[in-house]
Structure 1
């Protein structure tokens, strides 16, 4: 209304001035004299405005300042590390170390289950393992002894068999021709000796009958005959043996010895083959030891699982069990959260997502902490939008040194898409004409200069002028509706400074 009133006053003044000038010219004639008289009358007319009255305006100087283009976002505080702890074994809860808000360290036992039955299972598994090891040691020892004895016994029995077979062959086969010849010569020799001894005995027997020799001498020759006869019989027997081989009794004895030797060899070989069975027994005993070791490891692990430990450094966010309750695998008993890993999970409309990228600064405010500002940075932009809201999720990392931020808090932020120092002018100075954004600048001699702006970043109260206005130039923020390019203006005192201060 004020701009319209000033413009109307200026138009009326100009119209009155023009009427007075025309009247003076008509009555006073032309030339300089008429103009001087008319001018004198106009000037002398009470309440008449000047012919070129200036338009009163207010101005503010364009300034250089930091400008930002931001994308407003909302969302919730979340945590990267949020863990639901559940037992791996069924058992009664005997202790819970903490309640909601209690800080825990990684590896700390936070829930303890009853371990009496589990300790008994460990002791039983360890006893079974010791028994399996004892059986393995016994099997190994037996296998080693059997292997050494069997190999030596087979070789020994085979040697005895060879000897028995050689004796049997010797008993069965006749002597060699040379041996037979020697035996025949022995018979002939003993035959000659016998015949000589018999002739000597007969001669001395006749001499004894004739009384020519003593009986004692005859007795000696009788003995010599008998010895020669025995020697002849022995030589004949050796000749028979050489010609016909051993006696049947000797052959049967040798055959029995061979049979016994062969049986002994077979028994030794059977014992040697039993070594494979003993080796398999050793293998089975070793498998039993391995199974026992696995059982001990499993039992010990089950005992360790009864002590539920925290996998992270954090705090207890929810206690879901109490001592005395029965816990089952898969049923959560505690919920932990690492407050050092909290982040702002912001939702960005699909129309603004192209302006958001990793690394951008994000001032964040949380409703639960009024007056506090947290500065985060875009860490990740999820590649897909929600089908329901068409918003994209953006992860903003926020330092949480004081552990003030908690998962689930509602938060608001502004992603700083652009930030730079530029020349700004108040939005009150803007005019929109023919699709262009323009301002009036108070130029030299208080003349209005109409400028066309190229607008950059826009804020609530000001815009960035990329071109058209320089820092320090005075732009009209009030009264510009009555101005024309090149028109005179007068700057009102007082308001401009206040407006400039507000713009800054």
Structure 2
């Protein structure tokens, strides 16, 4: 009996101790309080600066501040009149080079070959004449008595030319007198006058020919008499005509080589050179076109013009910003979270954003950046108390397909757990 009582007491003590242990645990297991992270900031957007690489005078502006623009839309046009002229000149040079290449590849035309053959024949005739003159000069030098005979012959030709000149002048005078005497208006008189005028024309041609023959004979006579008076002049004539032979031989060789080249067709090096000239001209044209394109400034993105810093007629310096365009498809909101709450913020965490411009709308965003070190609250925060707190910069990214959110809008964000 005593043992049973002792066991009951032990059981009661164990129950009391167990309850004493469990009771504090149950009391302290309160549920964790929900922490709400809210912060304010300003909507920002990625901005693209529109500038000209080479500069120039502004001639037209196609978008104003606040205008929506599409990717590739022309925004600013700089003066390209000089480059237009250079482009046309470069196009002409390309056309010339291409024509030259086609001509080289097609080979010589029949007319070119015929002209080259004529050059060869002309050179052969000149060489024959030079050789004849050289042989004649040598003959005179070696046989002086022939010189006297040629002097007499030249004198006879002069006399003959004078006689022919007198006869031609007489025929011209007679025909002219008959024409002047025929003054009637009948058909017969008109026919006679026409015949007399033809006779005058023929007589005038004979006069010119006789005078030319006389001048040629007189020139020859003067040269022959000079040779007779000064034998050294005859020697000089031999040397002169010999030099003329050599010149004529070189000219014939050159003409023959040109004809042979035409008959052989275009050489590979000529084709390569012509192709290189085409490439050079095309490269020069491309360079001018690239330079001209740089004077037409297009928007690289679709967005909103947030600033316009130039007016038509102004001179834009190279690299100077003329416009800025913001990408509104996605915008960001930077907030500053106190150190005490940063533990409740995670990358990818969703947030609800509201703006004063659309109080009934809620915009969804997500955390895309958390600073890795704390900083003091930026100076643009309103109160001094807030500015002395240490905070972490947090960026939210928001899809903005309707472009309702615009840079500079104040916004409030609530991060969702």
**TM-score (norm: length of structure 2):** 0.47
**TM-score (norm: length of structure 1):** 0.39
Q: Of Structure 1 and Structure 2, which has the larger fraction of its residues in strand? A: 1
